[in-house]
Amino acid sequence: MKKLFLFLIFTLPVIAQAKLNVVATLPDFGAIAQEIGGDKVTVTTIAKGTEDPHFVDARPSFIRVLNKADILIEGGAELEIGWLPPLVNGARNAKILADAPGHLILSRHIHLKDLPTGPVDRSMGDVHPLGNPHYWLDPDNGKIMATDIAEALSRLDSPNQAFYQANLKRFSEHLDQKIVQWTKALEPFKGTRVMTYHKSFDYFLDRFGFELAGTVEPKPGVEPSPTYINSLLPRVKGAGVKLVMVEPFRPRKTPEYIAQAIGAKLLIVPEKVGANDKVRDYFSLFDYNVTQISIALKQSK
Number of residues that bind Zn ion (CB under 5 A): 1
| Torsion (CA) 196, 198, 199, 202 in degrees, nearest 10 | -30
Site string for Zn ion, 254-273 (x = CB under 5 A): --------------------
Q: What strands lie across the sheet with 20-24, from one edge to the other?
A: 41-45, 20-24, 71-74, 103-105
Interface segment toward Zn ion; rule CB under 5 A; list 65-73, 91-99, 156-164, 213-221: 213-221
Per-residue x/- marks for Zn ion, 9-48, CB under 5 A? ----------------------------------------
Q: In what order do the strands lie in the sheet with 265-268?
A: 211-215, 193-196, 241-246, 265-268
What minimum distance in Å lies between the beta carbon of 282 and Zn ion? 19
**In the complex, what is the shortest distance from the CB of residue 127 to Zn ion, in angstroms, rounded to a whole number?**
5
Residue 150 to residues 32, 105, 147: CA-CA distances in angstroms? 10, 13, 5
DSSP, collapsed to helix, strand or coil, labels residue 211 as strand
- Comparison of 139 and 220: residue with beta carbon closer to Zn ion: 220
Q: How far is the CB of 129 from Zn ion (least distance, A)?
A: 11
Distance CA 69, CA 300 (A): 48
Query: What are 21's strand-pairing partners?
Result: 42
Which one, 84 or 262, has the nearer CB to Zn ion?
Answer: 84
Residue among 132 and 254 whose Cβ is closer to Zn ion: 132
Backbone angles phi, psi at 73, to 5 degrees: -110, 120
- For residues 40 and 134, which CB has a smaller minimum distance to Zn ion in the complex? 134
Q: Give the three-state DSSP class for 179.
A: helix
CB of 263 to Zn ion, least distance (A): 27
Choices 80-88, 218-226, 240-248, 258-266 (CB under 5 A): range interacting with Zn ion: 218-226
Contact between 167 and 37 (Cβ < 8 Å): yes
CB of 220 to Zn ion, least distance (A): 5
Binding residues (CB under 5 A) for Zn ion: these are 220
